[in-house]
Amino acid sequence: MNDIAVARLLPNICTDKMEETRDFYARLLGFVVGFEHPGWYIQMASPANPQLQIGIVRRGHEFTPAAFQQAAQGVIISVQVGDIDATYASVLERGFRIAHALRDESFGMRRFMVADPNGLLVNLFAFR
């Protein structure tokens, strides 16, 4: 049995593209900057639900141990939405590049993906 009581989970993206990454999540998800440590960290959150957060860390900053100061890769950030068809139309209309087209999956999900400025995938989905 695991005795760790998780109180919060906050994914952080290590990047050299701080402003581009901030702007991407602001445009895509409507997230706003909650606070910032100038030059090395930006924390963003949903204005409607502040518990939904993402952090952006400058890749070469001492916060991250030197052996791990590499560009983020191999990550998929999944975002559940209420109306996937309306979300897809909005994302297309706003000019985001689709990495994986809207489709129904055999496992009960309707989804599509876009890539952030770092090449990380954002999987937008709803259950059918």
Question: pLDDT by residue for the chain (128 residues), tens digit each?
Answer: 789 999 989 999 999 999 999 999 999 999 999 999 999 999 999 999 999 999 999 999 999 999 999 988 889 999 999 999 999 999 999 999 999 999 999 999 999 999 999 999 999 999 99
Asked if residue 19 belongs to a domain, the reply is yes
Contact 112/102 with Cβ under 8 angstroms?
A: yes
Asked if residue 81 belongs to a domain, the reply is yes
Asked if residue 3 belongs to a domain, the reply is no
Asked if residue 4 belongs to a domain, the reply is no
pTM of the model: 0.94
Query: 103 and 79: one domain?
Result: yes
Write down how long the chain is.
128
What is the chain written as a DSSP string?
A: -----------EEEES-HHHHHHHHHHHH--EEEEEETTTEEEEE-SS-TT-EEEEEETTSTTS-GGG-S---S-EEEEE-S-HHHHHHHHHHTTPPEEEEEEE-TTSEEEEEEE-TTS-EEEEEEE-
Asked if residue 65 belongs to a domain, the reply is no
Asked if residue 1 belongs to a domain, the reply is no
Domain of 124, CATH number, reads 3.30.720.110
Its domain, for residue 31, covers 9-60
Number of domains in the chain: 2
